[in-house]
């Protein structure tokens, strides 16, 4: 499941479904909740890749993976406008 999370951009729910649909019911009953499985996938996918928390708005810089939608949505911008760090705390 973690490898699939790193190798694809499929939604977390889809990865959980793919990984668990062929498991016997007794095994499925022992798995963590869907929420916890999805969180595991998110951690595997992003790990420590998140930017550090900024102390001020001027320090806030967003990487492309946080401002663009995935390829299922045409890689269009999620964030339509970012005034950038030059705007300081007026962002």
> What's the whole-model pTM score?
0.52
Q: Is 15 exposed, middle or buried (0-12, 13-18, 19+ CB in 10 A)?
A: buried
The 10s digit of each residue's pLDDT in 46-91 is 776 666 778 887 777 777 777 777 666 666 777 666 666 666 666 5
Instruction: Write the pLDDT tens digit of every residue in 15-40.
Output: 999 999 999 999 999 999 999 999 99
Helix axis angle, 12-20 to 34-46, nearest 10°: 110
Phi, psi of 78 (to 5 degrees): -85, -45
Q: CA 9 to CA 39: how far, in whole Å?
A: 15
pLDDT of residue 85: 67
């Amino acid at each position: 499941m973690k490898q699939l999370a790193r190798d694809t951009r499929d939604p977390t729910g889809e990865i959980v479904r793919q990984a668990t649909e062929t498991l016997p019911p007794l095994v499925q009953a022992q798995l963590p909740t869907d929420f916890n499985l999805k969180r595991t996938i998110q951690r595997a996918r992003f790990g420590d890749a998140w930017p550090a928390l900024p102390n001020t708005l001027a320090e806030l810089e967003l990487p492309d993976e946080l401002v663009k939608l995935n390829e299922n949505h045409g890689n269009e911008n999620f964030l339509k406008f970012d005034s950038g760090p030059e705007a300081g705390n007026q962002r």
